Structure 1
Amino acid sequence: MVTANATEKISLGTVQETLLIPLYFRAKETKKENGSINDPQAVELVDKIDYDFSKFDRGKASELGIISRTVILDNEVQKYIDEHPDCVIVNLGCGLCTRNLRLDLKQTKWYNLDFPDVIEVRKKFLKPKENCYDIAKSCFDETWPNDVNAGNKDKDVLIISEGVFMYFTEDEVKQLIQLIKKNFKKTTLYIEIMHSLLARHTNMHDTVTKTNATLGWGISQVRDMAKFDPGLKYITEWNFLDKMADLNDNLFIKISSKVNFFKNFCNKYGVFELTQ
């Protein structure tokens, strides 16, 4: 049991360690007087985990991008829940995301899916919430859909993932799409996607370079992901740069948010429908 003033070391795999990056920046933003998000659980976790978070402090681009993506997905997932109050949500590669604790879930069943070492940390530090469940499996484990109660597959299902797909290969992305398609009649996907050029240059990333993880997959045009499967339909995309311009007074960011060339290189959420 962790006492109020104690810190505890945790053991995470190579890619899993990167979950500490968004955790730290959400905590930092929460501590600001007029922060864009309010995530007290992130603050508590950073205070309790024995880790050198300060090595991420110079990652200003990552910090702004993570706060922007958090605001976007918080808003969009809440909209989805408001429109589908009895839905099922699966958070693929959830890490230490606390979105299910921040939002009004109504009658939603929420499933956090990640490797066993990550789920162990979640259970150790995060209090459970009604109708929220942890699945300690890889997202490529073909049995995880069996742990999701989708009401005989007739409920509205939303699958979200942030900061995850860029660590896959293209073949793994296609494999995961097939796994979802096989087990759910129809799903909506909110997936964070990185440009292929950036995914090929881990050494240029301002925070991932502070870990031993390596980026993998990206795609130059989000809509082209729909070519991976005939049941995958591109709906829209939400560009992080639009929100970054709202949250920051930097003139270059504001100008870049109006120029498609620059926007195309920024991370986005791709919104898709996947049907059997």
Structure 2
Amino acid sequence: MVRVQLTGAKETMLATLWGRALDSRSAQPILGDSAADEALGRLDYDFGKLMKPSMALSVALRAKSIDAWARAALEAQPGATVLHLGCGLDTRVFRLDPPPETRWFDVDFPEIAELRHQLWPELDERPGYRMIASSVTELGWLDEVPADRPVVVVAEGLTMYLRETEIEALIRRIVERFPSGEFVFDLFSKLGIKAQKLNPVVRKSGSTLYWGLDDSRELERYGLELVDEHNATQFASEEDLPKVGVVPRLQLKALRWFPAVNRMGRIVRCRF
């Protein structure tokens, strides 16, 4: 068993790991993340501390929606370089399973990198894969990444924990360094930031959210072109709707009557 002692934003990754693992155990999984479930059994941690099991559905739906766009970006640019920013304990590289010619870089704090090594040592031998132990905002880590190919940048549960100046510097540096590419990430609206203490994972971990954006087209200021975006009611695809159950389907429909709430959390796909 691996004992875990994380606080603040770093602790929130344990909640999303738990959500993906619980989904994998369901009769009709949305994401089917077996690697998350296997890791769960090796961690010494009270996973019910941060969220209720019922929140696993939203975790799985968000992850699957991001996976779908990331997979499409990789199919459009075979052999691209992937930057998985603030990867935490996400097993996205297993789920997308890119071919060896794809360079995949997971990036997160040194203590998270060590924890990932303990949970998935097989990644050290995976062709094309590398873990970079660094905060994503300490931009020197980008010098370790070859910039001779298009890039696919993926981030989940990251941007809202950064400040606007950090977001801008990070995006601009990537855009300047690579010839072309796509970004797929989730973000909060300004209302989502104001209502952060209503989010049990944020509140119970003692985290603070900083950055929110109401109009995704404002990302053009950083050199990105908005391709598409999904709000909360669009996270579930038509094939997934029968799996979520009657009550969650009704809740998703009800969100359409409250546009501001529906857009509190959304996923964007951009290119440059």
Q: TM-score, with normalisation over the residues of structure 1?
A: 0.87
Matches within 5 A, 1:170-209: 170-209=164-203
Would you say the 8 A contact 2:191–2:264 is kept in 1?
no
| Structure-1 residue corresponding to 2:18 | 24
| CA apart distance, 1:66 | 1.4
Q: How far apart are the structure 1 equivalents of 2:26 and 2:53?
A: 17
Secondary structure of 2:200's aligned partner: coil
Q: Deviations over 1:200-224 (max 9, x none)?
A: 2321112221212111111112222
Q: Deviations over 1:179-231 (max 9, x none)?
A: 212322322111211111111232111222121211111111222222x33x2
Misfit runs of 4+, over 4 Å: 257-260
Q: Counting helix residues as a fraction of each chain, which structure ranks higher?
A: 2
Q: 2:225 aligns with which of 223, 233, 252?
A: 233
| Structure-2 residue corresponding to 1:116 | 110
| Structure-1 residue corresponding to 2:267 | 269
- Residue identity in the other structure for 2:127: E
Q: How far apart are the structure 1 equivalents of 2:139 and 2:75?
A: 30
- Residue identity in the other structure for 1:176: L
| CA apart distance, 1:80 | 2.2
| Structure-1 residue corresponding to 2:4 | 10
Cα separation, partners in 2 of 1:55 and 1:97, compared to 1, 3 Å: same
Would you say the 8 A contact 1:195–1:264 is kept in 2?
no
Q: Deviations over 1:73-110 (max 9, x none)?
A: 22222222222221111001000111101223122111
| Structure-2 residue corresponding to 1:242 | 234
Q: Deviations over 1:25-75 (max 9, x none)?
A: 000000111111211211121111111101234264x43321111111222
Q: How far apart are the structure 1 equivalents of 2:74 and 2:225?
A: 21
Q: CA RMSD for the aligned pairs?
A: 2.0
Matches within 5 A, 1:107-146: 107-126=101-120, 127-128=122-123, 129-146=126-143
Matches within 5 A, 1:72-83: 72-83=65-76
Q: 2:207 aligns with which of 204, 208, 213?
A: 213
- Residue identity in the other structure for 2:43: I
Identify unmatched segments of 5+ residues in structure 2.
none
Matched, 1:157 2:151: yes
Q: Deviations over 1:242-274 (max 9, x none)?
A: 234823423542423545715643411111123
Secondary structure of 1:192's aligned partner: strand
Identify unmatched segments of 5+ residues in structure 1.
1-6
Number of residue-to-residue matches in the alignment: 262
